[in-house]
Chain A
Amino acid sequence: MASFELICPAGTLAALRAAVDAGADSVYVGFRDETNARNFPGLNFSRKELAQGVAYAHARGKQVFVAINTYPTAGNAGAWHRAVDDAADNGADAVILADLGLLDYAARSRPKLRLHLSVQASAANPEAIGLYRDAFGVRRVVLPRVLTINDIAKLTSEIDIDTEVFVFGGMCPMAEGRCSLSSYATGRSPNRNGVCSPASHVRYETRGSKLVSRLGAFTINTFDEEEPAGYPTLCKGRFTTHDKASYLFEEPTSLNALHLLPDLKAAGVKALKIEGRQRGKAYIAEVVSACRLALDRFDRGLPYDATVLDRVTEGGKDTAGAYGRAWR
């Protein structure tokens, strides 16, 4: 039996097909609106596309999960309820939710629908996870990226639902679902709008020989001519404390935990997740294939190349993030 289920992102039907073809066990998607945490222009699925994607995946023995993982707006939860209903009616194998009220709605109105707890719920201890299981029948928790491998091992030994962790892709240095940095600068947040540091609020300015990246009214970074200019995600910007400029919160890095497969297995992790629903199908195909190859070799007890994804990581740099204690 395979050690891990491989969960892959798709922002388009083409990316979903690419992920399935490249060896995904499950693909996660979102609807084309504010009900999911990758609410980007030109991305995500219509109801019809979801049905097509589910048909494609199911025909090949694979699954599709629908992320409905933003927090419904007070006075206007209709879009989120429709998302749950339409995911179920179009054959989704699970929905990935974060909001208590929406979990309550899904558990009551769609008792047969499999519920996963989104990383955006930031359930970081067995007591919290147990509550989601008992109250709503949640079957799997996507763990927040605030836990070390040792924390995860201890946690999985104390809970009786599946755990899923991020293995590759963009990462937040902050506890997910508990961050308002983006909306402080732009008025648009992951929790309410499904966006972080949105492109609509990004500007690049030239100042002499420097390129300045701005988010809303704030400078997030400046680059010399030779320096590659990164996207101004707020928590990966350069700021000044005590007159010293630094990447105070996090360097512009990606998570890459492929080298930790033995530890993640020993820790009892059930599923590995790749971040990146905003990525194109070529990227998805490359990353999913590489992960698939590594997992297959790992399952057969063969050495695998954990550096295979180094060249696609953000800024060319990667990190095991919070999985190692030194990150703190």
Chain B
Amino acid sequence: MTMKKAELTLGPVLFNWAPEVWRDFYFRIADEAPIETVVLGEVVCSKRTPFFAEQIPSVVERLQAAGKQVVLASPILATTERERDGVRELVSSAGDFLIEANDMGCVAQLGGRPHWIGPFVNVYNEATLAWLARRGAVSVSLAGELTEPALSALAAQATLLGCELEVQVFGRLPLAISVRCYHARAHGLHKDNCRYICNEDPDGLTVDTLDGEEFLSVNGLQTLSHTYVGLTHEIATLQGMGIRRLRLSPHTCDMVAVAALFRSLADGVLGAAEARAKVLEMVAPAKLSNGFFHDREGVIDTAAL
């Protein structure tokens, strides 16, 4: 099997960044980052959507001018009228843009046209992958919970289907979504009057155990790992399976440097051990994890055992 060149995908910014910071982040990605595809959109909380909406056209233009493919992400949860309207509007106005569906309601509206499946749609096995591919999914970004044997079986099926697979190799891992806002709750506020307090924590609000151990990270309705997934030693294995797309999830650390590092790693220019040391430095004081890949507790970093 000839190995196709790995491609880097930048997932959507999951956190509530100031609109100009958000815009400037993408401008810099457009200008400097060795990334093939950028997935754009507010996927966590519909209350934040208006802030970014006005920045999107200029960001898209800048990314496309730099030769990046832009994919538009749908929200993880769409329950209210307004949220459902938002998904319908996204689907009907996307034009030539690919949409990454993050819930089954969006998947329903994309049947028969090429689309991406995001990591918030459950794809655990070959039959599900095949069903989605038959309806037009051309690329599937897999959930972080999948183990190496599961990824391998899915990759074999994806090859037969002509569907691309993607795995998150960098960033805090989304673990849960709710309609309850934990950021508001942590501040004694209600979701309807949240004061957009999640903007205080651009990489998430640290949740400690009662022992003072860092455990989770809260981002409004979303709960993420406190550790950053860092699949450095696993990239060669992923590539060997035929998984070509590697997802980086945005944080406030230098994402251009993160992209350059994973580019070098995927190209075999940089060794895994050296890459790991550099990634560790970038996310400090947070730690890295790769447990799910190795069929362990997700929090575990097998390279540190």
Is residue A156 contacting chain B, with contact meaning CB distance below 8 A? Answer: no
Interfacial chain A residues near B108, Cβ < 8 Å: 127-128, 130-131
Rounded to whole angstroms, the CA-CA distance of A219 and B216 in the bound complex is 12
Q: Which residue of B has the minimal Cβ distance to A207? A: B211
Is residue B79 contacting chain A, with contact meaning CB distance below 8 A? Answer: yes
Rounded to whole angstroms, the CA-CA distance of A240 and B213 in the bound complex is 9
Is residue B46 contacting chain A, with contact meaning CB distance below 8 A? Answer: no
Q: Which residue of B has the minimal Cβ distance to A101? A: B127
Contact A74 B126 (CB under 8 A): yes
Contact B79 A184 (CB under 8 A): no
Contact of A125 among B79, B179, B191, B291 (CB under 8 A): B79
Known: A99-B125, A328-B191. A151 touches B211 (CB 8 A): no
Rounded to whole angstroms, the CA-CA distance of A230 and B211 in the bound complex is 18
Contact B215 A183 (CB under 8 A): no
Contact of B153 among A74, A98, A127 (CB under 8 A): A74
Known: A146-B77, A181-B223, A328-B179. A101 touches B109 (CB 8 A): no
0 or 1 for each of B143-178: is its CB under 8 Å from A? (1 = yes): 111100111111001000000000000000101111
Interfacial chain A residues near B209, Cβ < 8 Å: 218-220, 239-240
Known: A72-B124, A73-B150. A183 touches B298 (CB 8 A): yes
Is residue A60 contacting chain B, with contact meaning CB distance below 8 A? Answer: no
Known: A74-B149, A181-B223. A174 touches B297 (CB 8 A): no
Q: Give the Cβ gap from B161 to chain A, nearest Cβ, in Å.
A: 13
Interfacial chain A residues near B190, Cβ < 8 Å: 326, 328
Is residue B107 contacting chain A, with contact meaning CB distance below 8 A? Answer: yes
Is residue A301 contacting chain B, with contact meaning CB distance below 8 A? Answer: no
Question: Of the 9-residue stretches B61-69, B200-208, B259-267, which lies at the interface with chain A?
Answer: B200-208
Contact B78 A125 (CB under 8 A): yes
Which of B131, B144, B177, B209 has the largest number of chain A CB atoms within 10 A?
B209
Rounded to whole angstroms, the CA-CA distance of A253 and B157 in the bound complex is 43
Interfacial chain B residues near A191, Cβ < 8 Å: 122, 124, 145
Is residue B98 contacting chain A, with contact meaning CB distance below 8 A? Answer: no
Rounded to whole angstroms, the CA-CA distance of A193 and B129 in the bound complex is 20
Interfacial chain B residues near A192, Cβ < 8 Å: 124, 145
Interfacial chain A residues near B131, Cβ < 8 Å: 100-101, 104
Question: Of the 9-residue stretches A8-16, A32-40, A241-249, A272-280, which lies at the interface with chain B?
Answer: A241-249
0 or 1 for each of B51-63: is its CB under 8 Å from A? (1 = yes): 0000000000000
Contact A101 B208 (CB under 8 A): no
Contact A187 B298 (CB under 8 A): yes
Which of A174, A250, A326 has the largest number of chain B CB atoms within 10 A?
A174
Interfacial chain B residues near A242, Cβ < 8 Å: 186, 205
Contact A175 B175 (CB under 8 A): no
Contact A74 B154 (CB under 8 A): yes
Rounded to whole angstroms, the CA-CA distance of A153 and B299 in the bound complex is 40
Contact of B176 among A151, A180, A241, A246 (CB under 8 A): A180
Is residue B93 contacting chain A, with contact meaning CB distance below 8 A? Answer: no
Q: Which of A15-72 contact B (CB under 8 A)?
A: 71-72
Contact B292 A183 (CB under 8 A): yes
Q: Which residue of A has the minimal Cβ distance to B289? A: A184
Q: Which of A127-183 contact B (CB under 8 A)?
A: 127-128, 130-132, 146-147, 151, 154, 173-175, 177-181, 183
Which of A105, A132, A218, A328 has the largest number of chain B CB atoms within 10 A?
A328
Rounded to whole angstroms, the CA-CA distance of A293 and B223 in the bound complex is 40
0 or 1 for each of B201-229: is its CB under 8 Å from A? (1 = yes): 00001111111110110100001010000
Interfacial chain A residues near B274, Cβ < 8 Å: none
Question: Of the 9-residue stretches B2-10, B11-19, B80-88, B277-285, which lies at the interface with chain A?
Answer: B80-88
Rounded to whole angstroms, the CA-CA distance of A242 and B176 in the bound complex is 21
Contact B125 A181 (CB under 8 A): no
Q: Which residue of B has the minimal Cβ distance to A247? A: B185
Is residue A124 contacting chain B, with contact meaning CB distance below 8 A? Answer: yes
Contact B297 A184 (CB under 8 A): yes
Interfacial chain A residues near B122, Cβ < 8 Å: 71, 98-100, 121, 177-178, 191
Q: Which of A302-324 contact B (CB under 8 A)?
A: 322
Contact of B180 among A147, A177, A322 (CB under 8 A): A322
Rounded to whole angstroms, the CA-CA distance of A219 and B210 in the bound complex is 7
Is residue A75 contacting chain B, with contact meaning CB distance below 8 A? Answer: yes
Q: Give the Cβ gap from B182 to chain A, nearest Cβ, in Å.
A: 6
Contact of B297 among A131, A185, A241 (CB under 8 A): A185
Contact B105 A124 (CB under 8 A): yes
Interface of B toward A, CB cutoff 8 Å: 76-81, 84, 87, 103-109, 111, 120, 122, 124-132, 143-146, 149-154, 157, 173, 175-182, 185-186, 190-192, 205-213, 215-216, 218, 223, 225, 291-292, 295-299
| Leading 3 A-B pairs by shortest Cβ distance | A101-B127, A75-B153, A127-B105
